[in-house]
């Protein structure tokens, strides 16, 4: 996109890269890969999936396993069985509406609490407690657990499994002992995990200003992703290039117009002057943009996210950051065909 713009309009004085949700992961990856070449002057990441794929997807993998333990209808006992780490088989004909129908059948997610059976309510309570996913985003995350995982495994990794839940202890249910004894367990194919990590994990070696904005109550990409990103960047010795801001908003796909404009202006000033902003200064400057763009200003300048492990159950060895070091990235880059093809 940048090259197309330059080809048509010439090179701009400054270029800023923005990514939201999974696009935040893409933008963060681009910053590490191309930031040194002068193509970009700064990066804005909003509600970004910045923990990376090898660990960030574990919440949906856990949901897939826990759901099947309680619901046993994806697949049903009467249907062909398959490894749950596939999400769905490559040749599955199930539609999103049909998967949602099975979720409703098991949990009554679309029904008023008074209209759910006791079994549905218990299933719902256990699934939510164990996975730590908010009720309002369970349906969306269930579709990710089925179709996104299917796409990663079947379409991107040639049927290889990059996920593992060995050594994970699930808790919060009415009977944790039975859950841990009965939930499906599986181990990753090392080459599949390497390829997912190479494609989506971050080293933290950001060579230019990066500003993040994340809703504290984001129901899809949990705000704890930002703690993982902060640890990753600091471990790489690049903490001076990162400023993180947080708001009390509750949506994933959109934030206040004023906050977007305010964030971009703060990033531009930082890139032009070299004067690094703070979460406090950014919160204070928002009001002026609200008068122009509207939407409100909801910053919490004192908020600090908890570690990712408080939201997504870590795998053995998964408490240290970065998930992929710069040395690993260099070594893997020499392997023919490494990563995931576009």
Residue-level pLDDT at 17: 97
Same domain, 133 and 103: yes
Name the nearest CA neighbour of 140 among 260, 220, 49: 220
Within a domain: 338: no
pLDDT at position 47 over 80: yes
Q: Is 128 found in the same domain as 166?
A: yes
Q: Is residue 84 part of a domain?
A: yes
Per the structure, the count of domains in the chain is 2
Instruction: Name beta bridge partners: 211.
Output: 44, 243
277 lies in which domain range?
A: 1-52+201-311
* Whether the Cβ atoms of residue 203 and residue 326 lie closer than 8 Å to each other: yes
Specify whether 159 is located in the same domain as 250: no
Residue 137 pLDDT: 96
Distance between CA atoms of 30 and 27, rounded to whole angstroms? 5
Indicate if 89 and 19 belong to the same structural domain.
no
pLDDT for position 49: 99
pLDDT tens column, 72-91:
999 999 999 999 999 999 99
Residue 131 neighbours by CB distance under 10 Å? 25
2 confidence band (pLDDT: 50, 70, 90)? confident
Mean of pLDDT values over 106-134: 99
Strand, coil or helix: 173 = coil
Determine the pLDDT at residue 159. Answer: 98
Same domain, yes or no, for 95 and 164? Answer: yes
CATH of the domain at 45: 3.40.50.1820
Distance between CA atoms of 110 and 100, rounded to whole angstroms?
Answer: 10
Q: Is residue 60 part of a domain?
A: yes
- CB 185, CB 165: distance < 8 Å: yes
- Check whether residue 123 and residue 183 sit in a common domain: yes
pLDDT band at 5 (very low <50, low <70, confident <90, very high): confident
Q: Is the pLDDT of residue 1 over 80?
A: no
* Last-in-domain residue among 188, 211, 245: 188
In a domain, 275, yes or no: yes
Average pLDDT, the chain: 97
Say if residue 60 is in the same domain as residue 47.
Answer: no
171 shares its domain with 293: no
Q: How far apart are CA 230 and CA 238, in angstroms?
A: 10
Residue 276 lies in a domain: yes
68 closest CA partner among 126, 108, 148, 117: 126
Asked if residue 316 belongs to a domain, the reply is no
**Is residue 25 in a domain?**
yes
Q: Quick one: pLDDT at residue 264?
A: 98
Do both 166 and 250 map to the same domain? Answer: no
Q: CB–CB of 208/15 below 8 Å?
A: no
pLDDT of the residue at 3:
81
Per-residue pLDDT for 12 more than 90? no
Domain co-membership, 115 together with 208: no
**Claim to verify: residue 73 and residue 25 sit in the same structural domain:** no
Higher pLDDT, 12 or 25: 25
Percent of the chain with pLDDT over 90: 94
Structure tokens at 105: 């059948």
Q: Is the pTM of this model over 0.85?
A: yes
- Give every strand in the sheet of 16-20, ordered side by side: 16-20, 42-46, 210-215, 242-247
260 has a pLDDT exceeding 80: yes
User: Are 15 and 80 in a shared domain?
Assistant: no
Instruction: Give percent above pLDDT 70 in the chain.
Output: 100
Quick check: is 340 in a domain?
A: no
Asked which of 144, 167, 188 is the last residue of a domain, the reply is 188
Per-residue tokens: 93: 């004909």
């Amino acid at each position: 996109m940048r090259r197309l713009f330059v080809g048509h309009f010439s090179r701009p004085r400054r270029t800023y890269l923005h990514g939201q949700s999974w696009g935040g992961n893409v933008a963060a990856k681009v910053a590490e890969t191309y930031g040194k070449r002068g193509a970009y002057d700064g990066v804005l990441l909003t509600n970004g999936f910045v923990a990376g794929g090898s660990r960030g997807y574990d919440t949906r993998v856990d949901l897939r396993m826990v759901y099947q333990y309680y619901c046993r209808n994806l697949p049903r006992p009467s249907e062909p069985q398959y490894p749950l780490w596939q999400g769905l088989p490559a040749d599955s004909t199930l539609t999103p509406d049909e998967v949602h129908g099975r979720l409703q059948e098991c949990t009554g997610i679309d029904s008023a609490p008074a209209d759910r059976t006791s079994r549905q309510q218990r299933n719902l309570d256990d699934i939510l407690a164990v996975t730590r996913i908010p009720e309002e985003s369970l349906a969306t995350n269930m579709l990710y657990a089925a179709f996104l995982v299917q796409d990663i495994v079947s379409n991107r990794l040639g049927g290889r499994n990059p996920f593992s839940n060995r050594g994970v202890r699930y808790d919060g249910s009415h009977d944790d002992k039975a859950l841990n004894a009965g939930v499906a367990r599986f181990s990753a194919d090392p080459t599949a995990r390497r390829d997912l990590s190479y494609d989506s994990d971050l080293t933290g070696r950001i060579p230019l200003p990066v500003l993040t904005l994340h809703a504290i109550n984001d129901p899809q990409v949990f705000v704890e992703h930002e703690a993982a990103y902060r640890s990753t960047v600091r471990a790489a010795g690049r903490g001076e290039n990162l400023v993180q801001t947080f708001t009390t908003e509750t949506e994933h796909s959109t934030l206040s117009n004023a906050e977007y404009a305010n964030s971009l202006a703060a990033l531009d000033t930082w890139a032009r002057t070299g004067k690094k902003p703070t979460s406090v200064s950014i919160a204070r400057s928002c009001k002026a943009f609200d008068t122009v763009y509207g939407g409100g200003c909801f910053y919490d300048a004192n908020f600090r996210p908890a570690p990712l492990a408080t939201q997504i159950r870590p795998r053995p060895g998964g408490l240290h950051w970065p998930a992929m070091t710069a040395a690993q990235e260099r070594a893997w880059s020499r392997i023919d065909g490494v990563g995931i093809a576009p």
